[in-house]
Chains A and B, each alone.
Chain A
């Protein structure tokens, strides 16, 4: 046991991450054995559909949580991005490529808004989230005149953007998602931005007194989150076509759960992109598996909740023992 723990790879990833990987694999085996026709590509593709947008949300919120903040406007903002850009596409004839850019732009704007209020005006992130959640829903409904927006079908001329998710049976989205995860991991661990974001999550005042412009970096975390939420919107519509104004809240919890399950600490300062990715895959696999077992989504929520509690508790215990 001790030997495994001191293996360099294990040490780098963290023991709990390895366990989480094990949980993921066990879950797959479990569902394959007990679920209806679970083995095979279609199920995995379907689970991945769910993992993409949730994954981008989770990646985004990981940055915010790393600063010790929280953002639960991500779900509604994702819908707002998809609605505003989709409405431009369907009603104003904006080209698809530009619409995708608009989607990312809307997400970024909300990121700037949230980040500015949190970092420069010291409004508690909780309040900011609550406000921007309402604003995102409102803006989306005003912009679309309270209409749901359906993005073009894959068969149509404008449907090329769906290739971002998959071409034939090849999961292009997975590749893109993993590339983004690697980029996020590099930003978090290898760049100044990441260093400051994590450090200020751990001890903001100490970083400020080191002569660092903490406001700028704290805001940046929210902006990165916003950008990723904008991207999440693209993957949402590429997989699920239609978005409605006034919704999206339900994805907040799952995105935060995926992130925290992976070992990112709610108190800030500790974040693991690898963990987030595994966490998201667990949730996505779970939702697919639960359906294959003919259970309702309710069980997915409950089990997700329990896994998060156990995972975080394991981290709490591990940390306590270390100190």
Chain B
């Protein structure tokens, strides 16, 4: 028993497995890109890449955020309807109440933090199952969004009109070439949140809670606070996603948004976040999101009728998770 060699090799295999999962998913992304490019010449255009990026920001941002509750062993289902709620609120204040754009955006972010806080309190202090608590806030944000905006669809200032500067956060045109600034932001945020997850107390305790909540409590850590923080992060990123969504799609309609969270969570899980908590990486979540986004945007390019796209997306989802399950099963024996 005095030999360290046995656990050491095990350790390496675990690391390689985590990296491996990410690596496989990355390969899937590359494979999908190659496949779509081969089949459809239009897919190869720069503008297509721009579109895919544009449509991926909000899902990517949500996925970054939701990685945290997922790692605690929870989930946040409220981010999808939340996104619409925040965007509606911000847009309503800007368009109907004449607030400056920055103030509307700030308000959207504030609201997202409040909803995140509510989720955190429900889960951490009131001990409700995360699935359920966030299901309720999902319904609540859906309702609130409609009510805050008087049930009106809201169009954020379009490009060319005053107040459209916020669109430049995500995309600027230099000499006629469009630069996907938003993607840089997403990468930057991934780096920041990966740092937070791996090198700060918030991240460390997020993993600790997902790993063994009781033990974390007994280590004298203010678990309630850090547990809440995971949901606040998730909420805040839903708020950021709301701004990205508004900047890309302009018009936000009440009653929508349900389903966004599944894309984000699905992306995170494909990217290697364990549904039972403790394991996951922000970078992996991002890669996972691109699998979903590529399927969504790529399938129309190969001339597939829309209804088949959904079936294929469903099958790919199961396939991605099954590969992981099979691999774990093999390793176990």
Contact = CB atoms under 8 A, between A and B. Distances in A.
* A–B direct touch in complex (beta carbons closer than 8 A): yes
A133 B261 CA distance: 14
Interface string A110-150: 00000001000111101110111111011111100010000
Contacts of B137: 305
B325 A122 contact: yes
- Interface size, B (range): 35 or more
- Interface size, A (range): 35 or more
A250 interface: yes
B311 A309 contact: no
Interface in B137-173: 137-140, 142-147, 151
A134 B310 CA distance: 5
Interface in B264-306: 265-266, 269, 275, 305-306
Contacts of A135: 310-311, 314-315
B314 A131 contact: yes
B209 interface: no
A146 B143 CA distance: 29
B105 interface: no
Nearest to B266: A130
A142 B126 CA distance: 45
B212 interface: no
Nearest to A249: B258
B188 interface: no
B253 interface: no
A32 B44 CA distance: 63
Given A126-B275, A130-B266, A266 B308 contact: no
B275 A124 contact: yes
Interface stretch (B24-32, B179-187, B231-239, B316-324): B316-324
Contacts of A249: 258-259
Contact of B135 (A137, A138, A256): A256
B140 A301 contact: yes
Interface on chain A toward B: helix, strand, loop, or mixed SS? Answer: helix
Contacts of B244: none
A19 B146 CA distance: 31
Contacts, number: 134
A126 B134 CA distance: 14
Contacts of B145: 298
B101 to A, nearest CB: 26
Contacts of B139: 253, 257, 301-302, 304-305
Contact of B144 (A124, A245, A302): A302
Nearest to A146: B307
Nearest to A122: B325
A138 B307 contact: yes
Interface in B114-150: 122, 126-129, 131-133, 135-140, 142-147
A308 B132 contact: yes
Contacts of B305: 142
A312 interface: yes
A306 interface: yes
Contacts of A213: none
Given A135-B315, A298-B144, A257 B308 contact: no
A158 interface: no
Output the residue of A121, A127, A135 with the most chain B CB within 10 A.
A127
Given A130-B266, A266-B131, A296 B146 contact: yes
B307 A245 contact: yes
B325 A138 contact: no
A299 B143 contact: yes
B126 A316 contact: yes
A57 interface: no
B262 interface: yes
A130 B310 contact: no
B310 A127 contact: no
Interface in A289-323: 296-302, 304-306, 308-309, 312-313, 316, 320
A266 B129 contact: yes
Contacts of B311: 134-135, 138-139, 142
Contact of A138 (B122, B310, B318, B321): B310
A280 interface: no
Given A249-B259, A257-B139, A127 B275 contact: yes
Contacts of A300: 143
Output the residue of B137, B142, B321 with the most chain A CB within 10 A.
B321
Contacts of A139: 311
Contacts of B312: 138
A232 interface: no
A138 B207 CA distance: 37
B144 to A, nearest CB: 7
26 contacts: A70-B131, A117-B318, A123-B322, A130-B265, A133-B262, A134-B313, A135-B314, A137-B307, A138-B311, A140-B307, A141-B310, A146-B307, A253-B139, A256-B135, A257-B135, A296-B146, A298-B147, A299-B143, A300-B143, A301-B140, A302-B147, A305-B136, A305-B139, A305-B143, A312-B129, A313-B126
In the A-B complex, the 4 residue pairs with the smallest Cβ-Cβ separation, listed nearest first, are A141-B307, A138-B310, A138-B311, A134-B314
Given A127-B321, A296-B147, A299-B147, 11 more contacts: A122-B325, A126-B275, A131-B315, A134-B317, A245-B307, A253-B139, A266-B129, A298-B145, A309-B133, A316-B127, A316-B128
